[in-house]
Structure 1
Amino acid sequence: MIRRALKSVLPAAAAVLALLPVTAGAAAASTVAARPVAAVAAPQHPVRSHPYRTGRVTTRGIRLNVRSGPGTGYRVVGSRHTGRLVSVSCKTYGSRVYGNHIWYRLSQRRGYVSAHYVTTRGYVPWC
């Protein structure tokens, strides 16, 4: 009796299990295809963790050194002229320049400048 029940139930159960993944895959494919393309597309502009601030160089006629790190001991990697606008991403502590130990990191990680020589508008976040 048990053998006869197993012989009739097992093929039916195998047929049901064989159909389940096919119908589940078809249902998932229909929901993906129904989704609009704009929702799947990646954003065109990269997301920044914080907005950049602009500051103006105030060096009284001499060029401002851009350094590889927040201090006068780091090598010079560039310079900015007086009156130029610089894009600043954040501020950090470094070596003191005329009593000011805050340094600004330029946007796109181009280097650091002393906050003593740059005036900014608004709040600049910490690195």
Structure 2
Amino acid sequence: MSTRTAATRLGIAVAAVTALAGLTATVSPAVAADSAGSGRPPVYKGRVTAKSGLNLRDSPTRGSRIVRTEPYNKIVPIFCKTGGDRVEGNNLWYLLTDGTWAWGSAKYIANIGAAPRWC
């Protein structure tokens, strides 16, 4: 594992622990309303735009292990975003929160509502 990948994973773990401890970032009223009073960080949403489906990976890099694939047009929950490998000019990656905590390139996920917060 590269130093960059290890640092990214450590940063994400710290961000997740902080968020789960109730320390959340300022978000738009629409997103805050979804999780208001729940004690949980907000969940953002996106729609998969990759026609052949989107490979989700274990880190925000193109060469990392594929965890699973989501089909075209699927709505996915997003925890946060970070920088990573460029995919067709876009270096943002979203951490999806539906059980496996996998990364998907933001190039192929269209935001529904507010853009995700930074990890």
| Shared fold per TM-score greater than 0.5 | yes
Q: SS state of the match for residue 83, structure 2?
A: strand
**Mapped pair 1:74 → 2:64:** yes
Partner of 1:12: none
Partner of 2:107: 116
Question: For residues 41-52 of structure 1, what are the structure 2 equivalents within 5 Å?
Answer: 47-48=39-40, 50-52=41-43
Question: For residues 30-109 of structure 1, what are the structure 2 equivalents within 5 Å?
Answer: 47-48=39-40, 50-60=41-51, 62-107=52-97, 108=99
Partner amino acid for 1:122? Answer: A
Q: How many residues align?
A: 81
**Which structure features the higher share of helix residues?**
1
Residue 63 of structure 1 and its aligned partner are, at CA, apart by 1.5
Residue 70 and residue 64 in structure 1: after superposition, are their counterparts in 2 closer, same or farther (change >3 A)? same
- What is the Cα-based RMSD across aligned positions, in Å? 1.6
Identical columns (%): 37
Residue 109 of structure 1 and its aligned partner are, at CA, apart by 5.2
Measure the CA separation in 1 of the matches of 2:78 and 2:100: 9
Measure the CA separation in 1 of the matches of 2:58 and 2:92: 15
Measure the CA separation in 2 of the matches of 1:46 and 1:74: 34
Measure the CA separation in 2 of the matches of 1:83 and 1:125: 22
Partner amino acid for 1:47? Answer: G
Residue 77 of structure 1 and its aligned partner are, at CA, apart by 0.4
Q: Which runs of 5+ in 2 are unaligned?
A: 1-36
More displaced, 90-99 or 105-114? 105-114
TM-score by length of 2: 0.64
Larger Rg: 1
Measure the CA separation in 2 of the matches of 1:109 and 1:78: 9
Measure the CA separation in 2 of the matches of 1:89 and 1:98: 23
Partner amino acid for 2:43? Answer: Y
